[in-house]
Amino acid sequence: MFYEPSKGHGLPHDPSKAIVAPRPIGWISTLNRAGEINLAPYSFFNAFSTRPFIVWFSSEGAKDSATFAEETGEFVANLVSRDLAEKMNRTAVDAPRGVSEFGYADLAMASSRLVAPPRVAEAPAALECRVTEIFRPRALDGTQTSAIVVAGEVIGVHIDDAYLKDGQFDIVRAGNVARLGYMDYASVNEIFSMRRPRWPKD
């Protein structure tokens, strides 16, 4: 089949998120100036630079994570491991502002080193970030979309020593969780390696 997204797909459910998958989940913790804490998962999340280390998440509309990050200029991206998947899902609840999702999902908070927002104590890894830019992507006709993209430079990295093996982060042990399409998720339980090819020299 072929379809033009602007004209609809004709399927029972939108396949776009299943095609662009798996997507890592940014479990974003933020703090506003009033001291209110927010924790929410974002599947529109990834890293796009290593030098400097920059990550971003995209919010469909002005939700608390993007609003708080813009207000204070900081956020933490916590890693979702397989054993935390159900608690992560609980933090997706549309709770009123001022309600801490940490408490709602029975998660412990741990202090960050370089930013004010707390991190998820149980997470195998967490990235402390300072906002570098916030923007709204535009459609082909030039209009602003509802998406708010928050980019941040990683200024501190926490890794639970239990997930380090021979100097490498053990992705399989953590079972990194990713979002698929619809209501489906995946976790890493197998990896394989391939070396980048080298162009033959004469």
pLDDT in tens, 142-173: 999 999 999 999 999 999 999 999 999 999 99
Q: What is the mean pLDDT of residues 70-83?
A: 98
> Has residue 202 got a pLDDT over 80?
no
* Amino acid occupying residue 37: I
Strands (E), the chain: 23-24, 26-31, 37-42, 45-50, 53-60, 74-78, 109-110, 119-120, 125-135, 147-159, 164-165, 168-169, 177-179, 185-187
Q: Looking only at Cα atoms, what is the longest distance across the chain?
A: 66
d(CA 173, CA 75): 26
pLDDT band at 114 (very low <50, low <70, confident <90, very high): very high
| Predicted local distance difference test score (pLDDT) of residue 96 | 87
Q: What mean pLDDT value characterizes the chain? A: 95
Task: Check residue 97 and give its pLDDT.
Answer: 84
**From CA 21, how far away is CA 183, in angstroms rounded?**
12
Q: How confident is the model at residue 99 (pLDDT cuts 50, 70, 90)?
A: confident
- State yes or no: pLDDT of 196 exceeds 80: yes
Split at pLDDT 50, 70, 90, the class of 201 is confident
The 10s digit of each residue's pLDDT in 35-50 is 999 999 999 999 999 9
Residues 42-65 have a mean pLDDT of 95
Residue 18 — pLDDT band, cuts 50, 70, 90? very high
- Give me the pLDDT at residue 72, please: 97
Top-confidence residue, 80 or 94: 80
CA distance 34 to 37: 9
Percentage of residues of the chain with pLDDT beyond 90 = 93
Average pLDDT estimate for 5-12 = 94
